[in-house]
């Protein structure tokens, strides 16, 4: 095959013949119309390359092949001839049908078929992935997003662009631009995407428009199709599932407290200009001092900042609130929308005062950006990375083959616990049933989770949170309910219900007898309770929630619960795998919806690999 790759002669733009040495040297360029093109023949050892008006002919002598390679070539050629040189990765040729989108038709060519057959081995991992599902279903899912049925240029078939995204995430390539750069030269990638070696490839704008056009909802539908295919292949057990979340770092720069103060000061000035005709008696330094006052509580580092510094930063070229930056920033447009919705002063109101500006600042704080580059990314805490700027991704994993059955994607500032109920609802929408057992870590030891799992008869093995009581005394978890429904103190004595339920749902309980002689006196009563004339421990709790928490502790510590919690650690490997090989811990795009699509693609390629292996 070395002779074949030494020299190629191609026709460029139908009017120029360019001869290239494949080592990069341009041999010559001839401005020759096709009609007057003289045959060009190049002899290279025992091989011949000829170019005429009718086509390109490459002749390779058998002597350059080993017996083994020659026999393999003969078998491949026989297979290609028998199948009519059909290139299986191309989208099915769909005849124009009224009311249906029109796709670009990639015509198969002999050179592509030969190179793919010779160079891509039958057991290549991408062959297995390609054979795992029917890609034509993606065209059907996405058809409603296209409006080129009667006019406009034919579009790339959705499955072609989707397969390019699969290549990006299955290989762990960080960006679409790098993916397309490799697609230009990688023969196997072209085969998988359905692009011949002679055709061009989509540009980054085409891929971006495809994601936006198709949207999160259709990507979720495609993911559900794959999950159902996994279920049909027998890879789901529907007995036991695990759920957990991980941090996903945004492609953004975290905003500093100082930058947020500059932005808030600028926003307050804009609010005054829009609603009060200017700052009036409130000068810029006073506005800056109000902004610092509001932000110093969450950001103590601002205590040493003087308002004049904030004013100076607003006037410095290149700052985060310069006009050119604000005009293209999603976070600034969000602030302007908030200002337009804020309460307008009455026409007869006196000049705005400091208290009004302070109230406006408190309303605007929630709209301040937490990151530049991705206006939807937020700052939050994770158990492994500490503080992170980005999102949280959650996977519901079936225990049989550790297949992902639900994907949850939220900003990092959102609480974890409520997401598990959303994941279980998603699971139920697909299969019409809930997993019988569920393993969760201590982050989900919350009453709304206990209530949900009990309501749907899910045996939950949730690791119990460590909850110290007030001032070092026993927490409410140390008080338990007996079979008769009576609340017992840590020493086993009954407590009486003395008040409630209050508006917040709490009931109030108190020990029936004095606690002065109790051996747990020092550990159970607060200082204020011990100093009373008749010291007795009191407890406020929501009765039903307290009982659910006790039942969860009993389930978690039972043999079945312990087994679920041990097995749950195996599901951590899912996150390890997708983070290491598919960039599951990085958000490559610049907003929430597109990064949600990225997480769906991460789960898709993970499940697809499993289906190709075990299906």
Backbone angles phi, psi at 461, to 5 degrees: -100, 90
Q: How many angstroms separate the Cα of 35 from the Cα of each of 9, 31, 39, 576?
A: 17, 12, 11, 61
| Spatial distance between the Cα atoms of 229 and 134, rounded to a whole number of angstroms | 10
* Spacing of C-alpha 334 from chain mean position: 22
Average pLDDT of the residues in 537-552: 92
- 427-444: per-residue pLDDT in tens? 999 999 999 999 999 999
pLDDT at 595: 97
| pLDDT at 21 > cutoff 70 | no
Cα 350-353-358 angle, rounded to 5 deg: 140
DSSP assignment of 386-447, as one string? Answer: EEEEEEEEEEEEETTTTEEEEEEEEETTS-SHHHHHHHHHHHHHHHSS--SEEEE-GGG-SH
Average pLDDT of the residues in 432-461: 96
Are the CB atoms for 138 and 165 separated by under 8 Å? no
| pLDDT at 55 > cutoff 90 | no
* Spacing of C-alpha 272 from chain mean position: 39
| Spatial distance between the Cα atoms of 357 and 270, rounded to a whole number of angstroms | 11
- 257-286: per-residue pLDDT in tens? 999 999 999 999 888 887 766 555 678 899
- Angle between helices 417-431 and 447-455 in degrees, nearest 10: 20
Are the CB atoms for 338 and 365 separated by under 8 Å? no
| pLDDT at 24 > cutoff 60 | no
**H or E segment and range at residue 11:** strand 7-12
CA nearest to 394, candidates 369, 371, 376, 412: 412
DSSP assignment of 360-392, as one string? Answer: HHHHHGGGS-SEES-TT-EEEEETTTEEEEEEE
Where is average pLDDT lowest: 126-135, 210-219, 383-392? 383-392
C-alpha torsion sign, points 593, 597, 602, 606 = positive
In sequence order, the 6+-apart residues with CB closer than 8 A to the CB of 65 are: 73
In sequence order, the 6+-apart residues with CB closer than 8 A to the CB of 10 are: 17, 18, 20, 56
β-pair partners for 277 = none
- Expressed in angstroms, the distance from the first to the final Cα of the chain is 36
Task: Give the predicted TM-score (pTM) of the model.
Answer: 0.86
CA nearest to 534, candidates 549, 544, 521, 519: 521
Q: Long-range contact list for 201-209, CB < 8 A, 24+ apart?
A: 202/156, 202/160, 202/161, 202/164, 204/176, 204/177, 204/180, 206/156, 206/161, 207/161, 207/164, 207/165, 207/176, 207/180, 208/176
Domain ranges, ordered by start, for the chain? 94-224, 240-251+379-615, 256-369
| pLDDT at 31 > cutoff 70 | no
Where is average pLDDT lowest: 236-245, 380-389, 517-526? 380-389
pLDDT bracket for residue 348 (50, 70, 90): low
pLDDT at 387: 80
- 580-592: per-residue pLDDT in tens? 999 999 999 999 9
Neighbours of 318 (CB within 10 A): 7
């Amino acid at each position: 095959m070395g002779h074949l790759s030494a020299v190629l002669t191609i026709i460029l733009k139908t009017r120029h013949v360019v001869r290239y040495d494949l080592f990069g040297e341009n041999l010559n360029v001839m401005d020759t119309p096709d009609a007057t093109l003289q045959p060009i023949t190049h002899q290279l050892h025992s091989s011949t390359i000829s170019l005429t008006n009718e086509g390109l002919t490459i002749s390779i002598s058998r002597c350059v092949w080993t017996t083994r390679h020659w026999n393999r070539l003969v078998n491949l050629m026989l297979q290609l001839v028998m199948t009519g040189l059909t290139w299986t990765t191309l989208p099915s040729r769909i005849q124009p049908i009224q009311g249906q989108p029109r796709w670009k038709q990639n015509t198969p060519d002999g050179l592509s078929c030969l190179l793919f057959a010779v160079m891509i081995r039958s057991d290549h991992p991408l062959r297995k992935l390609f054979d795992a599902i029917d890609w034509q279903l993606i065209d059907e899912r996405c058809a409603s997003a296209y409006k080129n049925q009667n006019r406009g240029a034919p579009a790339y078939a959705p499955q072609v662009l989707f397969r390019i995204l699969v290549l990006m995430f299955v290989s762990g390539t960080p960006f679409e631009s790098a993916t397309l750069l490799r697609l230009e030269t990688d023969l196997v990638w072209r085969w998988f995407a359905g692009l011949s070696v002679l055709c061009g490839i989509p540009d980054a704008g085409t891929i971006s428009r495809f994601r936006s056009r198709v949207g999160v909802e259709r990507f979720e539908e495609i993911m559900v199709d794959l999950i159902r295919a996994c279920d049909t292949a027998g890879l789901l057990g529907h007995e036991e599932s695990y759920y957990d979340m991980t941090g996903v770092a945004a492609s953004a720069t975290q905003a500093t407290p100082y930058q947020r103060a500059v932005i808030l000061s600028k926003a307050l000035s804009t609010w005054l200009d829009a609603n009060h005709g200017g700052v009036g008696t409130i000068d810029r330094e006073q506005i800056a001092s109000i902004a610092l006052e509001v932000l110093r509580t969450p950001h103590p580092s601002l205590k040493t900042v003087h308002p004049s510094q904030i004013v100076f930063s607003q006037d410095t070229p290149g700052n985060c609130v310069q006009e050119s930056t604000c005009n293209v920033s999603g976070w600034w447009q969000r602030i302007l929308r908030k200002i337009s919705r804020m309460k307008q002063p009455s026409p007869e109101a006196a000049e705005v005062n400091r208290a009004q500006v302070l109230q406006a600042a408190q309303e605007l704080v929630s709209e301040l950006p937490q990151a530049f580059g991705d206006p939807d990314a937020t700052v939050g805490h994770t158990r492994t990375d500490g503080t992170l700027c980005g999102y949280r991704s959650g996977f519901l994993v079936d225990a049989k083959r550790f297949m992902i059955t639900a994907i949850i994607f939220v900003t990092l500032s959102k609480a974890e616990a409520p997401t598990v109920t959303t994941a279980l609802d998603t699971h139920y929408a697909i299969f019409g049933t809930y997993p019988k057992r569920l393993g969760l870590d201590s982050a989900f030891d919350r009453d709304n989770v206990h209530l949900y799992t009990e309501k749907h008869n899910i045996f939950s093995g949730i690791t119990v949170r460590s909850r110290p009581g007030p001032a070092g005394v026993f927490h409410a978890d140390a008080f338990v309910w007996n079979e008769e429904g009576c609340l017992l103190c840590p020493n086993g004595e009954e407590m009486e219900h003395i008040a409630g339920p209050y508006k917040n749902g709490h009931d109030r309980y108190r020990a029936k007898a004095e606690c002065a002689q109790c051996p747990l006196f020092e550990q159970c009563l607060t200082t204020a309770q011990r100093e009373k004339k008749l010291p007795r421990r009191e407890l406020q709790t929501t009765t039903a929630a307290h009982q659910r928490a006790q039942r969860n502790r009993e389930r978690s510590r039972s043999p079945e619960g312990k087994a679920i919690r041990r097995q749950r650690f195996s599901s951590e490997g899912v996150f390890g795998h997708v983070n290491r090989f598919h960039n599951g811990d990085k958000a490559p795009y610049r907003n929430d919806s597109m990064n949600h699509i990225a997480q769906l693609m991460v789960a898709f390629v993970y499940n697809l690999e499993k289906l190709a292996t075990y299906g």
